[in-house]
Every structure is written in structure tokens, then in C-alpha cells.
Structure 1
Amino acid sequence: MPDKTTSTFPSILIVGAGFGGLGMAITLQNAGFTNFMVLEKGSSIGGTWRDNTYPGAACDVQSHFYSYSFEPKHDWSRKFGLQHEILGYMEHCVRKYGLTDRLRFDSEVREARFDETCNEWIVTLTDGEVLTVNVLITATGQLNQPAWPKIPGMNLFAGKIFHSARWDHDYDLNHKRVAVIGTGASAIQFVPEIARQVKSLNLFQRSAAWVLPKPDRAFKRWEQTLFRVFPIWDRIYRYLIYWKNESRALAFTKFNGLLELFAREARKDARKHVTDPEKLRHIIPDYQIGCKRILISNDWYPVINRPNVSLITDDIERIDEDGVVTSDGTHYPVDAIICGTGFKASEFLSPMVITGRAGLTLNEAWKTGASAFKGITVSGFPNLFMLYGPNTNLAHNSIIFMLESQFRYVLDALRALEKYPGSAMDVRQDRQERFSAVVQSGLRGSVWDSGCTSWYLDANGKNTVNWPGFTFTYRFATRHVDTADYQFIYPSKPA
């Protein structure tokens, strides 16, 4: 049951109104913390589910498990939720839990600086407004900054060019010659949708993706009724999904050979649908399955086989006024270019500038790679808590499970702060280093360490994104705050 007492200390600022920020806000409110605000740089809630509105946008985690445990939705239309339905669920949560007055839109944070003289975070917005709070919680996600390809001549292109995460719905693709750069998770979903309407589609692939069939279908009305009338069945169904997904962690981390079973399934599916031998040769990856994100789709291989879709694997040399030029000198004239090139996943909190104790910036603290104690706190940055921070991403289960573990941990930290009025929590450097060493040790020998280049790796080749194990071990590790992991510092007197 929620704590009936209320507390105005500490003052709390949450940055981001996606699943992390909204869930944290609900958790705080239910626990009696009343002095908090959620800043959102956009004009509405939703994060990645607001931004990614491309045709075919959907989730690759089952609907019943891609939702808060405390707010089940019984009437999901499909086993895997569609973008508009997931966004609608988030909007429902805002209404039900009365968060409207807690949200401030069009409020982007430019920088945040910790003031040691008063143990407060001084937060400056891009419009110059300054806010002062005791606690700063970031919930900006890992998939919020689109990664644009660095190709010479992009500014010269006379046609239409846009990123899949900033889809231009006003541009009519019908009967157009279209180039798609990238064959990642977004392209897997939107390419089958647009291929039916475009005149021709040139698909530029740097490396193939492993694609498995998607066990998706619409829920029948009687199934939705069963979930609603018997909530216990909804809970059981959710647990079954969890353990089914969780079992895959062993294959990713310890027993990589098990993944070959999935590779065989992917190859079989490709051979079934792709009859062009040249396309087939290039569409099956040459790296170990799981090294990069495994994708799920039932229409990717069929769309590759379409006569109006060309698969191009030569490197792009440049873009000119009316098309794309590859390294072999071939020119591909197009009317539009769509960049399905993903996100800057390893650039956490970018482009905000975060400055902690003694003028240390987060970029300086992370010059050898991002790391955080339990993926949440960083030494030298007191009262800063990150949701979906370094090494908390998953390849086998729902990130919302990880977020809910973090909600509980941050809430426990806030309760610890209440016991030491005026103090700020700063995780001890040795505890952070020890935790990070364990994480990196766990990643060695995993499938992500098998040699491919992926968005899991930063510029130094360090995996700063994935959690190297079971989600239940992470939940156990974050079940409560051990105050011995932190030093509680008090305001310093100004010189």
C-alpha cells in the first residue's frame, strides 16, 4: 500500500516524460513525495513512442510485459503492441495518476551543476530559465538522440531527406524513387510498409541483421475479456512471458552455442522467402547471431524479394543533388532518402552538460566509457540518479522490468536522504569501480564480445549499454540502498 504520509523534502526534478520519467513520478507520488516536477523537452509525453511514428512502428517485447506491473492493460489489441497503442497507454497513466500538473513541456535542459555550498542542483534550461532542486533524476532513455549518417554531400541533396525517428508524414512516398540507408530495427518495420507504395526502393545495407519470425497475432475478444474478468490470469500470463524471455539470457551471456538454433531458424525463413540468390547471399549475416540486436519480423524477407526493392551492399561514397553514389561509382537517382540509422545509444544524457563536485563534468568522468553504480549513480555527482543508465539495457527481456527495479532503488535512496537532513548522497568511487568491473567481467565471453561492431559499443569499443545477465539478479541487486555504498556529504561553506 502507498505510504499515506507526505513529504516536501527533497525537491525533485525528473528529466524526461517517457516510460522511465512517468513511472518514477507515479512511484514518488504513491510514496508520498509531493515536491517534484517532470521536465519534457517535447510538447507531449511518450519519449521514443512519441518520436517514432514511422509506418509499422511496434514493440518487440510482448504487450502484457511492456507495461507497468502496477497498471495492467487487459485489452491490448495484439501480442506485440503498436506504437499508437503504447503511447495511448502512457497517456492513460498520466490521466489516471493525475500527473498533468506535474509535467512541463517544451522545457529542455541545457546544463545542470551541483552547488556544493548548498547541496543543490542548479538546472538551466535552453531558454535560460534556472531551477534549483535537491535531487535530479534523469529519464532521457538511450534511444532519444537520432544518429545521422556522416556521408559527404547530404546537404547537397535536392530531394527530401529525413530520419525514421523524425518521420515526415506530409511527404507523399507514392510512386517515388526512395533510398533507405540502414537495415536496423526501425527499417525492418517501415520498409515492408512503404515498399508497397513506392516506385522503387534502394536499400543500402552496411551489415545484414539476424531476423527471426515474430510470434504476433491479434488477441481475440474472448481473450481480452478473460484478462479483464480474471486479473489473476493476466498476472499469470505476464509471469509466463517473463520466464520465457528470461530463459534466453543464458544463451546471450554464457552458452552462445544455443543461439545457433535461432540462426538456423532465421536462415530457413530467409531461404523460404528470398528466391533471388544474390539477395539471399547478402541478407544472411556473417557474424554470430546475437552479437548485434536480433530483430523479429514476418514480412522482412518477403519484402526483400520484391522486384521493386534493390539490396545494395557497396559502401556509400557520397550523396549528390539527385541521388546516392556508391564506392564502385554507381549512381542511384532517388527522390527521397530515409535514414534508418538508429540512435546515439552510448551517449548518455547528451547533449546536456552535467557538472558535479569540484567542477567535474560527466563527460570527463566518462572519458574512458560510461559507467555507473548499479547503472544509477556516479561518484562525484551527489543526488543524481539515472534511469536506464549505463549497462542496464537488455537483449532478452523488457526494459520496463529494469526501470521498475530502479524506481524502487531511487525511492529507497530518497528515504535514506530524509534520515540525514541537508545531506547529499555520493556513491563511493571504490564501490562504483568494483561494480563496473563485475559488469565488464560478465560481458567478457558473452555474445556481444564476439567481434562485431554494434550500437552496444561506444567509440572505445567498450560495451556501456547491456546488462550481462538475468534481470532478476539486477532486481536483487537494487532491492534496497546500502548506505555503506555512499558518503553523505553536507554543504560546504563558501570561501
Structure 2
Amino acid sequence: MTVTPECALDHEVAIIGGGFSGIGAAILLEKAGFGDYLMIEDGDGVGGAWHWNTYPGVAVDIPSFSYQFSFEQMAGWSRVYAPGRELKAYAEHCVDKYDVRRRTRLNTRIVSAAFDEEGDFWRLGTADGDTITARHVVGATGVLTQPKLPEIAGIETYAGTVMHTARWDHDVDLAGKRVAVIGTGASAVQTIPSIAHEVEHLTVFQRTPIWCLPKLDSALPLPVRLAMRVPGTKRVSRLVSQTFVELTFPLAAHFHDVLPVAGVGERVGLNHLRRAVKDPEVREKLTPRYALGCKRPSFSNAYLQAFNRENVFLETAPIDEITPTGIRTADGTEHEVDVLVLATGFKVFEKGNMPAFSVTGVGGVDLEKWWEEHRFQAYQGVSVPGFPNFFAILGPYGYNGSSYFNLIETQMTHIVRCLRRARRTGATRVEVTPEANARYFEQVLGRRRHQVFFQPSCQTANSYYFDANGDVPFRPSPTLETMWTSSRFDLDDYRFEGAAAAS
């Protein structure tokens, strides 16, 4: 085997993605003594989702006290649920404070990653034709990055303005316009009440109603923000926030048959709907017919109330086609539209998204094809057999539904342990064993009987949680378990090989 020395490579570690996953990976690599990294970002700025998503009303959907790094907690959030601009500012703050910016390459789209079996390193091809080499790769692209366009006949013929919520065009003036929003997911829940007051007429096209719960949100006045600077206050607020988040998704979703939290949430949601919507027919259309947790729920104190406005209309008839002047539904109704807003979410388990570039491992095996043949799987959501030195932040069965920041820190604990042993032993190739991966996959599948996703009612939820095989690649574990296992899993679940590797 020909081993390429580190000095012959561009970097020891390449981080693909400049959102919070990439930023967290960079900071934690530096803290662990791995300073030779490059963070590569497709966009012209850092922040990931908070760089791209600037639609009206964009905000975090879990309390801000949880949506931040444990080692860099802010005292200056303006609200319990911070608006998007503050998350973008937080990303900029982190890359500056931890000196990540000088090791960041913006406007660089990775289109391919190929493992060099003789040299034990990765060649990353860019859209500009350049090649970046690195011993190890940390995939930090996330999954909610590639806007998903609806497959509706005639959309290419529409003569008006079209924009996706993830690529909002702020030059478009909605005042006095007839606007249509296709979709009622998380971005629609925030966008609809934010634009309803300025448009002439707003038609919302709903396929499946969303569970909308009251949002325990409020402004944080200056005295509260000052109090957050008192030692221990941020820690307490984070603990309370984390407990709330844990109860509302990880425990409710993964232990549905043990903890009846979802039932309580459904009652809260239905009461919220009854109080918010005046028209009984509209209220009926907005009532979910599937269990809470089957698909991503939302929190809002304004979404449901928007349907009380005279200029807001809820359309539940299926869309037949998009015409040059608007939308025709299956019942023959023509909706004339000036601006078409696609709140249709992102590619998740579709081809070309996990990740959004080709990955070629040992023996020329393509990662996407490997997953097609073997189902989505990865050891603790980090590593896949046959793809050495390639680590994911958000791989299959890595995320348990808690804060993404918990995920980032937990997965980086796992990755850093692998890199430290590789450095200690002189290993140039780090690869999870097929046996360890199979054991983990069997474990997560064995827990699905407890999960809400596999209740009969979820079959009608039209949830992006489900992949083509009917699996839901969430990690069926409470957050404390993910933290425990990432710091204590047996490192012998990996093979550490290379010219100088020792046991």
C-alpha cells in the first residue's frame, strides 16, 4: 500500500458545508488539536439554512436556549424563538470568535468525492474543476439544503413570478398581489401569516394539514437578557429548554407506546385549533387525521388565525395543473395568481441529496447506490462500511429529533475519538466494520415498534420522514443515550489501518 504523507495533501480534514454542522465541526476539531482543516461552502456566506432561508417570518422552531452550542451560549436573543436574522448573526459570531473564517472557502460547490485506495485520502472535485485533497472528510451538508420543486403539470408555463421559500426574492413586492402558497409545512406556517396582511388575496393549497401547536414565544426584555449574564442562569434556561424539546419530540416519537406524551400534545393542538379558527368548515379542513409526530409538527400563534382573514382562502382540492395565469384544481376551479410561492420543502431521501454530490468509496462503490441496495444506514449515523475516512454529521439514524446542536456536538465526539486513535496509532485509514454497522442497524430497527411513525394513521401523513423503503432513519434514542454512546462506543468497531498503524 502506498501511503500519502499528510504534507502531500492539501489538508488533514475537509469539512463540506458551512452551516452550523460545518462550523461546529471546525470549532471542535480545533479544540481537539486538529487545526489543519478547510471548511468548504457552496454559498457566498456561512450559516447554511440561516443564510439561504430569508422568507418573511423565518424563525427557529425550538427555543433559542437549545438552538445553540453548549460551549457558546448567547445571552442576547430577542425572543424565546429567535428570528432567522439572529441565527445568521450567531453563525457569523461563531466563525469570527473561533477563527474559522480564515480556513473557510466560500462559493465552492463540491460535485464529487472519491477515495484513493492507495494513498488513503479523498479527492474532492469542485464545480470549477479544481481538486482538493484531504485525509479525512466530514460531511456537514445537512439534508434540508436542496429546495424541492413540486411535480405539477404545467408549472413551466406559468407566466407570473415563482419563488421557493428557501430562495426568497426580496425584490418582489407582494402588496396588492394575488398570491398562492403551495404547501403547509414548517416554512409555510411562518410565511403565510407574515404576508397575509399585505397581499390582496392569498390562496393556500393544502395537501395534508399540519399539527400546529401554540408557540410559547415572547420577547425577552432587556432585564431578562441582562439576567442571562448571571453565572448559572444560561445553564438553567438551557436545561429547562432541553427538557421541553426532549418531551415534545425524542421521547414522544421514539417511545410512543410507553410515554403517552403525543396524546397530550394532540389534545393541546385540537384545542388550539378550536380557539383559533372561527369557520367550522375551515377548521375541519385544518384538522390532522394522523397521529402527532408522524410528520414534522409546527408551533405558531398566528398561522391558524390567518385563515380568519377575508383575503385568505384554504384550498384542499388537489391541484390538476398550473396554467400560464394560475392554478386549476381537480374540481375545475381556476385560481388566478400573480405570485406563486412554493413552500414545498426540501429533498430529503430523494436521489442527489444525501449528500448532494457523488461519493465513491473502496472498489468504486457509489454511496447512493449502496444505500439503494442496502437501505439507508450508517453506524451511529456517522460511518458506512466501504467508505473509509468519511464521517457524516447527519447520516441515517444519527439524528434523534432533538436540537441539531446536540447532534453536532454528539457526532463530533464520535468523530474526534476516531481521529485521535488514528493519530495515536499512525493509522491512515479509519473504517467502520461491517459487523458493527450491521449490529447498529439491527438495533435501531428493533426499536421501531415503539415509535409513533409506524402507527397505522401515519400512512396518510405524507411525511418526508419516510424514505423509499418505508423506513424513518431517525435515531430511536433519548438524547442522553446518544451522548453516552458517542463518548463510549468501542473503538474496535472501526478498523485502523495504514503503514504505521499499531494495535
Normalising by structure 1, what TM-score? 0.94
Q: Distance in 2 between matches of 1:186 and 1:446?
A: 25
Q: Distance in 2 between matches of 1:221 and 1:95?
A: 25
Q: Distance in 1 between matches of 2:60 and 2:26?
A: 23
Q: Among residues 391, 410, 416, which one is paired with 1:405 in the alignment?
A: 410
Give ranges in structure 2 of 5+ residues lacking alignment.
1-5
Deviation of 1:408 (Å)? 1.3
Deviation of 1:341 (Å)? 0.7
Q: Distance in 2 between matches of 1:139 and 1:232?
A: 31
Deviation of 1:168 (Å)? 0.9
Deviation of 1:440 (Å)? 2.0
Render the CA deviation track for 1:10-61: whole Å, top value 9, x for unaligned.
7110000111100110111122222110000001101001111000000111
- Asked if 1:287 is matched to 2:290, the reply is yes
Q: Distance in 1 between matches of 2:393 and 2:42?
A: 17
Change (3 A) 1:404 1:488: same
Render the CA deviation track for 1:335-357: whole Å, top value 9, x for unaligned.
11101011112245333000000
CA contact (8 A) 2:63 2:80 kept: yes
Residue of structure 2 in register with 1:353 after alignment: 358
Moved over 6 A (4+): 7-10
Secondary structure of residue in 2 paired with 1:458: coil
Residue of structure 2 in register with 1:314 after alignment: 317
Q: Among residues 394, 398, 422, which one is paired with 1:392 in the alignment?
A: 398
Residue of structure 1 in register with 2:90 after alignment: 89
Q: Distance in 2 between matches of 1:438 and 1:454?
A: 23
Residue of structure 1 in register with 2:347 after alignment: 344
Alignment of 1:73-222 (within 5 A): 73-222=74-223
Render the CA deviation track for 1:124-183: whole Å, top value 9, x for unaligned.
101110111100111001111111110011110000011100011111111111110000
Secondary structure of residue in 1 paired with 2:65: helix
Q: Among residues 487, 491, 496, which one is paired with 1:479 in the alignment?
A: 487
Q: Distance in 1 between matches of 2:117 and 2:47?
A: 34
Which amino acid in structure 1 is aligned with residue 243 of structure 2? W
Which amino acid in structure 1 is aligned with residue 408 of structure 2? L
Render the CA deviation track for 1:454-483: whole Å, top value 9, x for unaligned.
11111222112x221201111111014523
Residue of structure 2 in register with 1:440 after alignment: 445
CA contact (8 A) 1:53 1:167 kept: yes
Render the CA deviation track for 1:196-240: whole Å, top value 9, x for unaligned.
011111100000001000000011211111111x13111121112
For structure 1, which segment, 403-412 or 417-426, has the greater mean C-alpha deviation from structure 2 after superposition?
417-426
Q: Distance in 2 between matches of 1:150 and 1:247?
A: 36
Render the CA deviation track for 1:339-398: whole Å, top value 9, x for unaligned.
101111224533300000001010121014321000001100000000121123344x31
Alignment of 1:26-65 (within 5 A): 26-65=27-66
Alignment of 1:370-381 (within 5 A): 370-381=376-387
- Asked if 1:243 is matched to 2:231, the reply is no
Compute the RMSD of aligned alpha carbons. 1.6
Q: Distance in 2 between matches of 1:14 and 1:250?
A: 31
Residue of structure 2 in register with 1:457 after alignment: 466
For structure 1, which segment, 26-35 or 205-214, has the greater mean C-alpha deviation from structure 2 after superposition?
26-35
Give ranges in structure 1 of 5+ residues lacking alignment.
1-6
For structure 1, which segment, 152-161 or 261-270, has the greater mean C-alpha deviation from structure 2 after superposition?
261-270
Secondary structure of residue in 2 paired with 1:303: helix
Q: Distance in 2 between matches of 1:460 and 1:309?
A: 38
Secondary structure of residue in 1 paired with 2:270: helix
Residue of structure 2 in register with 1:4 after alignment: none
Secondary structure of residue in 2 paired with 1:179: strand
Q: Distance in 2 between matches of 1:197 and 1:253?
A: 41
Secondary structure of residue in 2 paired with 1:174: coil
Q: Among residues 300, 310, 328, which one is paired with 1:325 in the alignment?
A: 328
Q: Distance in 2 between matches of 1:447 and 1:434?
A: 23
Residue of structure 2 in register with 1:365 after alignment: 370
CA contact (8 A) 1:209 1:295 kept: yes
Which amino acid in structure 1 is aligned with residue 377 of structure 2? S
- Asked if 1:231 is matched to 2:236, the reply is no
Which amino acid in structure 1 is aligned with residue 398 of structure 2? T
Q: Distance in 1 between matches of 2:392 and 2:77?
A: 30
Alignment of 1:290-301 (within 5 A): 290-301=293-304
Q: Distance in 1 between matches of 2:413 and 2:477?
A: 20
Deviation of 1:306 (Å)? 1.1
CA contact (8 A) 2:62 2:245 kept: no
Deviation of 1:445 (Å)? 3.6
CA contact (8 A) 2:115 2:360 kept: yes
Normalising by structure 2, what TM-score? 0.93
Q: Distance in 1 between matches of 2:378 and 2:293?
A: 25
Q: Distance in 2 between matches of 1:444 and 1:336?
A: 44
Residue of structure 1 in register with 2:338 after alignment: 335
Deviation of 1:275 (Å)? 1.4
User: Percent identity at matched positions?
Assistant: 36
Secondary structure of residue in 1 paired with 2:335: strand
For structure 1, which segment, 432-441 or 192-201, has the greater mean C-alpha deviation from structure 2 after superposition?
432-441
Which amino acid in structure 2 is aligned with residue 91 of structure 1? E
Which amino acid in structure 2 is aligned with residue 235 of structure 1? R
Secondary structure of residue in 2 paired with 1:88: helix
Secondary structure of residue in 1 paired with 2:62: strand
Render the CA deviation track for 1:257-287: whole Å, top value 9, x for unaligned.
4312211221112111211121111001111
CA contact (8 A) 1:376 1:406 kept: yes
CA contact (8 A) 1:412 1:480 kept: no
Which amino acid in structure 1 is aligned with residue 239 of structure 2? Y
Q: Distance in 1 between matches of 2:271 and 2:66?
A: 29
CA contact (8 A) 1:412 1:481 kept: no
Deviation of 1:244 (Å)? 2.9
Q: Distance in 1 between matches of 2:423 and 2:73?
A: 31
CA contact (8 A) 2:293 2:452 kept: yes
Q: Distance in 2 between matches of 1:444 and 1:246?
A: 19
